[in-house]
């Protein structure tokens, strides 16, 4: 069964009650609350007081994602504020099993979130405890999308079909050509096979990307490595 859980970060907070009712009238009864502490992640969003105010506006299931350091210190506060599910990060919890059991003992559901760099294998020992798994996407906001396209292409592998074609015809693989690459992109910004290389990823019209298919073809965490290198250049 597919469950839609829209994030309240996308809402207009001057019309929050109205927008909650709007999605509920569409048959949605689950809302995603992204809690950011300005430390574990650079942004700062909701705290328990805001969650408590949201709880008064709706009976929908409040799926609360704690993107924060030391989440164990705040579990009780968010439960008391009205969370129906608490999702913590494997990368921020000092004692994952302890924190998950603490959440479950409060009578609500629990989940684990992992960043793209984190191996999915870390989840295995907690599968008998958790109700949900959240796999984060890669944030590409602020990056030059044309340059990202080029770097992802240069770090991708030549497809088997293209490699065979080049060998049979004794020709060299093409060099990077942004204009031609854009022509080969789909109208929605998805890059499938570009200039003979397998990419399988959205490039344009999006700020958060699921890198799984790109990594499947080109190597574990390869997408994140490209983004990290670009962000490092920006910081310098």
Confidence band, pLDDT 50/70/90 cuts, at residue 204: confident
Q: 136, 159, 174 — which closes off a domain?
A: 136
150 lies in the same domain as 220: yes
Residue 40, pLDDT > 90, answer no
Confidence band, pLDDT 50/70/90 cuts, at residue 39: confident
Strand partners, 110: 86
Query: Quick check: pTM over 0.85?
Result: no
Mean pLDDT over each residue of the chain, to the nearest integer: 90
Q: How many domains does the chain have?
A: 2
Residue 234, pLDDT > 60, answer no
218 lies in the same domain as 111: no
- CB distance 129 to 101 below 8 Å: yes
15 lies in the same domain as 95: yes
108/201: higher pLDDT: 108
201 lies in the same domain as 128: no
Confidence band, pLDDT 50/70/90 cuts, at residue 4: confident
* Residue 52: domain span: 8-136
The 10 Å CB-count burial string (b at 16+, else e) for 169-186 is: eeeeeeeeeeeebeeebe
């Amino acid at each position: 069964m597919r469950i839609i859980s829209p994030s309240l970060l996308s809402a207009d907070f001057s019309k929050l009650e109205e927008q909650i009712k709007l999605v509920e009238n569409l048959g949605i009864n689950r809302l995603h609350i992204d809690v950011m502490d300005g430390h574990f992640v650079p942004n700062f969003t909701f705290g328990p007081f805001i969650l408590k105010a949201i709880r008064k506006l709706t009976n929908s299931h409040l799926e609360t994602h704690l993107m924060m350091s030391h989440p164990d210190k705040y579990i009780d506060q968010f439960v008391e504020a009205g969370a129906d599910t608490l999702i913590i990060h494997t990368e921020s919890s000092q004692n994952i099993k302890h924190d998950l059991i603490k959440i479950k003992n409060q009578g609500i559901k629990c989940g684990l979130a992992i960043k793209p760099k984190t191996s999915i294998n870390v989840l295995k020992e907690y599968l008998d405890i958790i109700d949900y798994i959240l796999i984060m996407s890669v944030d590409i906001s602020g990056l030059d999308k044309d340059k990202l396209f080029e770097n992802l292409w240069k770090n991708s592998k030549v497809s088997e079909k293209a490699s065979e074609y080049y060998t049979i015809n004794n020709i060299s693989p093409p060099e990077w050509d942004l204009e031609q690459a854009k022509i080969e992109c789909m109208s929605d910004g998805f890059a499938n096979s570009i200039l003979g290389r397998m990419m399988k990823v959205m490039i344009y019209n999006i700020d958060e990307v699921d890198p799984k298919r790109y990594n499947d073809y080109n190597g574990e965490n390869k997408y994140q490595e490209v983004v990290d290198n670009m962000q490092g250049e920006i910081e310098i």
